[in-house]
Amino acid sequence: MKKVFGKEEIANAGQTLTNYEETKAIYINGQKYLPDPDVYTFLLGGVDKFGEVTESDSYLNNEQIDFLALIAYDKNKNSCRILMINRDTMMEVPVLGLGGKSAGTAYQQIALSHTYGSGLKDSAENTVNAVENLLGGITVDNYAIMKMDAIPILNDMVGGVNVTLTEDLPQIDPSFLAASTVTLKGDLALQFVRRRMDISDGTNLSRIRRQEQYINGFYNNLRANIVGNGNFLVKAFGAVENYMTTDCDYAQLNEFQNYIKTYPEAGIYTVAGEARLGREFVEFYPDQDKLAQLTVELFYKPAESE
């Protein structure tokens, strides 16, 4: 079975694939690509609720993913690149049923991936699976999914974030006027990255543009703090542990911290596509060709000729 981006193409039926790497291969315009083992990925997500992380008493919960950023460190290219994923992205989202068992998929917004499960590790990993499926079957190495409460805490730990406003945002603060540079601290940082319906054009696309600005400034400040304090990331995660679900232990956090310290400022990428109003909500449809090319650029490498 050959995996073509976005669909399956049957070839040489009955042949057994014994190489795991081969099962991850994708084909675009006849070219075979394999996951690049020198790319380390970390998924950062934010859910749209406040309060400490708690377990739902059902196999469903009331939390949706509001923010998704996949950080990729390429050891060969000495680069850090961050892919912003629109929470309205329409795709076949993996569904969990009773007992956290797989119950197939449902075509809906990727934001709903976290709604399945208890709201803890199973929900976080379902979101990870959704992102992996969206990007051709890549493997996410580590993840951290946080409640809204974590943002002001982490923001202030790095010393706040400076942004130059591209539009008037008086709904956040009367002093937030276009072309002015402001330092986001505390609740203002949360509002800048979270508010949507009552500011600008009310779309998630506009919010993503603000999040791009914020992530770039936050990453630079985070890196500066890590360079100055070799244990900073561990302390930061400890400060928000009640609001976060992660698969990182101390060793993995140190590995992640070393990547942040080693690589230069991040390049920000977004997925091209079209936002349309569905029956109830805005739905984002990625341009599959451009998504495939971006996926290959960030996470894959051309296979050597056989």
Q: Is the pLDDT of residue 106 over 70?
A: yes
Q: What does the angle CA 294 – CA 214 – CA 292 come to, to the nearest 5 degrees?
A: 10
Q: Is the pLDDT of residue 112 over 90?
A: yes
Q: Is the pLDDT of residue 97 over 90?
A: no
Beta strands 181-184 and 161-164 are: antiparallel
Token couple for 123: 């929900």
Rounded Cα–Cα distance for residues 99 and 88 (Å): 27
Closest among 63, 140, 78 to 299, alpha carbons compared: 140
Rounded Cα–Cα distance for residues 273 and 67 (Å): 17
Q: What is the pLDDT of residue 280?
A: 83
Find the farthest-apart pair of alpha carbons in the chain and give their distance in angstroms, rounded: 66
Rounded Cα–Cα distance for residues 207 and 182 (Å): 17
Q: What angle separates helix 187-194 from helix 150-157, to the nearest 10 degrees?
A: 120
Chain-wide mean pLDDT for the chain?
A: 88
Residue whose entry in the numeric block shows the structure tokens 């380390």: 40
Kindly report, residue by residue over 162-220, the tens digit of the pLDDT: 999 999 999 999 999 999 999 999 999 999 999 887 787 778 888 899 999 999 999 99
Length of the chain: 306
Q: How confident is the model at residue 16 (pLDDT cuts 50, 70, 90)?
A: very low
- The mean pLDDT of 31-50, rounded to a whole number, is 93
Q: Is the pLDDT of residue 153 over 60?
A: yes
Percentage above 90 pLDDT, the chain: 66
Residue whose entry in the numeric block shows the structure tokens 């002093």: 175
Q: How confident is the model at residue 263 (pLDDT cuts 50, 70, 90)?
A: confident
Q: How confident is the model at residue 19 (pLDDT cuts 50, 70, 90)?
A: low
Q: What is the pLDDT of residue 3?
A: 45
Q: Is the pLDDT of residue 98 over 60?
A: yes
Task: Specify the DSSP class assigned to residue 59.
Answer: S
Identify the sign of the CA torsion 255, 260, 261, 264: positive
Q: What pairs with residue 89 in β-bridges?
A: 284
Q: Which of 6-20, 41-55, 79-93, 150-164 has the lowest mean pLDDT?
A: 6-20
Phi-psi map region of 30: left, alpha, beta (phi>0 left; psi -120 to 50 alpha): left
Closest among 256, 270, 42, 55 to 145, alpha carbons compared: 42
Q: Is the pLDDT of residue 10 over 60?
A: no
Name the CA dihedral angle for 85, 86, 92, 93, rounded to a multiple of 10 degrees.
80
Q: What does the angle CA 148 – CA 150 – CA 153 come to, to the nearest 5 degrees?
A: 130
Q: How confident is the model at residue 18 (pLDDT cuts 50, 70, 90)?
A: very low
Q: What is the pLDDT of residue 2?
A: 40
